[in-house]
Amino acid sequence: MGSFYIFARMNRLLSIILLFCVLGVTAQEREMEIWNLNQISMKPAQNLSLKVSEKVHYSTLRSDIQLKYAELKVGYRQKRWMEYGAAYRLSSSWLVENSWENENRAMLFFDVQEPIHKFTLSFSNRFEYRSFKHLQDYFRHRQALKVDLPSLTSWGMQFYVSEESFYKFNSDGTHLARLYAGLMVIEKKHLNISTYYALQKSKLLQKWYTSDVLGLNLSFMI
């Protein structure tokens, strides 16, 4: 009962923080999105992990959901610092008025992680095949670098910074990049909660656009 009360208070605090950030950023002209990821992780075998997640992107310009997806991810940790595996994602994104575009995405990933002094450095690679209902299919590569700063509390509160970029294997090349500044609020055996701000750059018709993202991730381990 006590842990449930703490979780409820923490979730309320995060919601208030996000609300104040939204009020500040939406006053600007550029687009603002709010992302929420909910994930359940399990270990069916010693070095095997299974993750099921759902994610929603909410656009403040539309005042409605912009993107939603469900994902299944299977990973194998061969060594303490290395993990690889595959994933599948089914998503829908809002493109034009009264029109949702469905996507099937198959992914292969390879992640490495290494502690350096009191910091943890993580590097991720992911190859994707994106298949659409109406748009042209293509292959894409995603790379990401993340640095976790030293923990501030006994329950795992720590800041982190990261970047990621996406490269299409066609004439578009690099078309999407993000810079993150985040806070791991709680990191426990069965519960992780984190929140972040991201500066997003996306290319459309050879022109780059800037948008802001506020995110909240909830992860449960069973």
Domain count, the chain: 1
pLDDT given at position 62: 84
Q: Walk along the chain (222 residues) and give the pLDDT tens digit of each residue.
A: 444 444 444 554 455 455 445 544 444 567 899 999 999 999 998 899 999 999 999 999 888 999 999 999 999 998 888 999 999 999 999 986 678 999 999 999 999 999 988 899 999 999 999 999 888 999 999 999 999 999 898 888 999 999 999 999 988 899 999 999 999 999 888 999 999 999 999 998 888 999 999 999 999 999
Q: Which of 31, 55, 42 has its CA nearest to residue 103?
A: 55
pLDDT of residue 3: 44
> What pLDDT score does 133 carry?
86
Q: What CATH number has the domain bearing residue 66?
A: 2.40.160
CA–CA dist 219, 52 (Å, integer): 10
List 101's β-bridge partners, or say none: 93
Q: Name the burial class of residue 128, with classes exposed (0-12), middle (13-18) and buried (19+) by CB atoms within 10 angstroms of its CB.
A: buried
Q: Are 120 and 112 in contact (CB under 8 A)?
A: no
CA 63 – CA 75 distance, rounded (Å): 36
> What is the per-residue pLDDT for 25?
46
Per-residue model confidence (pLDDT) at position 80: 85
Q: Token pair 């800037």 is at which residue?
A: 210
Burial pattern 206-218, b for ≥16 Cβ within 10 A else e, equals: eeeeebbbbbbbb
For residue 24, what pLDDT is reported? 47
**Joined tokens for residue 136:** 């042209």
**Domain region containing 208:** 2-221
Q: Which amino acid is at 188?
A: K
Given CA atoms 18, 22, 25, 31 in this order, what sign does their dihedral have? positive
d(CA 113, CA 119): 11
CB atoms within 10 A of CB 27: 8
Confidence at residue 20, expressed as pLDDT on a 0 to 100 scale: 46
Could you give the C-alpha distances from 2 to 6, 9, 139, 187, 217, in angstroms and in order?
6, 11, 48, 17, 22
- In single-letter form, the type of residue at position 127 comes to F
